[in-house]
């Protein structure tokens, strides 16, 4: 549980939390801009693993977590868990990049609406956490939404489910690893950078790579580092300073932005598909209400430590 922060810092932490989810929400536009320049999903993914390393290293050094990184590197158990989390996040990234560049932004939005509800169910199954009636209702509404979406598209929403399960699995694995967000991200990127760098070099040597091909393409590929690392660091900083239940409200900002991007770009939004999102939004609303109700003692504690104006 996060410790309540003094008034000014709490407001800054809230701003950081909003900022990270706003950045995650507009990420589809970033990847689509690269796609319009002819950059493939695999090249984007490879550059993401490469250029995230220096950014993650900067944040580790700024947080003075070099010792934590060395300790993790010396622990076979920690490295095994981080290798698994690296595979899960790489799977999530690759599906997400491909989906947003294939006109499936609405499916990514659905996946990230489902994710917190899936995380609640996983918490009960894996960590034996208790789910109250509101939680069960939220999960049931989400399940109905997925079922209606399956009818609407003529099959299971595989992209949505793959994103939700890969990121949900990532969260479960990271919960078991004694490593901060910055340390974990740096080691994950170090584990992925070998194949990523090899692919980038192969593309460059074959003349198919876009690094140096034009100023916009090169700038966008370099931007993969900040796009990956900055939102995660903002999230980590905020999560330590405001109640996690407050972040529970904020996490729906990202998929909501993605939803509007998908609709604005003309993706098919039939009445049946709208009904599926209505069930998902209902589940999200119940989830948020339950988080607010559980957070009231934390919010009162936060108010007590705020200095007088």
pLDDT in tens, 260-291: 999 999 988 888 888 988 988 888 788 777 76
What spatial distance separates the first Cα and last Cα of the chain, rounded to whole Å?
Answer: 27
Q: Give the pLDDT of residue 114.
A: 82
Please give the C-alpha separations between residue 66 and each of 173, 177, 239, in angstroms, as whole numbers: 22, 17, 21
Largest CA distance in the chain: 64
Kindly give, in sequence order, each residue whose CB lies less than 8 Å from that of residue 144, ignoring residues fewer than 6 positions away: 279
Place of tokens 């091909």: 213
Q: Give the pLDDT of residue 224.
A: 92
Q: Give the pLDDT of residue 306.
A: 44
CA distance 27 to 21: 10
Low-confidence ranges of the chain (pLDDT < 70): 1-9, 127, 129, 239-240, 242-249, 291-292, 294-309
Q: Give the pLDDT of residue 33.
A: 95
Q: Where are the alpha helices (DSSP H) in the chain?
A: 7-36, 41-62, 66-73, 76-100, 105-127, 133-153, 158-175, 181-206, 215-239, 244-250, 253-264, 271-305
């Amino acid at each position: 549980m996060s410790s309540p922060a003094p008034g000014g810092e709490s407001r800054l932490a809230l701003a950081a939390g909003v900022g990270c989810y706003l950045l995650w929400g507009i990420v589809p536009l970033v990847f689509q801009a690269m796609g319009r320049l002819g950059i493939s999903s695999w090249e984007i993914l490879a550059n993401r693993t490469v250029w995230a390393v220096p950014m993650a290293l900067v944040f580790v050094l700024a947080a003075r977590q070099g010792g934590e990184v060395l300790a993790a590197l010396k622990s076979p158990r920690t490295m095994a868990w981080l290798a698994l989390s690296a595979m899960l996040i790489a799977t999530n990234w690759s599906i997400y990049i491909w989906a947003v560049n294939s006109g499936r932004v609405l499916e990514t939005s659905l996946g990230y609406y489902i994710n917190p509800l899936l995380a609640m169910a996983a918490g009960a199954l894996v960590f034996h956490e208790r789910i109250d009636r509101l939680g069960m209702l939220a999960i049931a509404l989400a399940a109905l939404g997925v079922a209606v979406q399956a009818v609407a598209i003529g099959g299971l929403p595989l992209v949505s489910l793959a994103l939700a399960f890969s990121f949900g699995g990532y969260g479960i694995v990271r919960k078991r690893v004694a490593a901060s967000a910055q340390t974990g991200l740096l080691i994950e990127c170090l584990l992925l950078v070998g194949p990523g760098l090899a692919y980038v070099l192969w593309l460059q040597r074959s003349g198919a790579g876009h690094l140096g091909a034009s100023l916009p393409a090169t700038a966008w590929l370099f931007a993969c580092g900040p796009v990956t690392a900055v939102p995660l660091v903002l999230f980590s900083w905020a999560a330590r300073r405001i109640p996690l239940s407050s972040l529970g409200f904020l996490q729906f900002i990202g998929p909501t932005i993605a939803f509007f991007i998908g609709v604005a770009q003309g993706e098919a939004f039939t009445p049946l598909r709208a009904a599926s999102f209505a069930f998902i939004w209902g589940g999200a609303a119940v989830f948020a209400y339950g988080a607010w109700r559980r957070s009231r003692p934390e919010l009162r504690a936060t108010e007590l430590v705020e200095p007088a104006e």
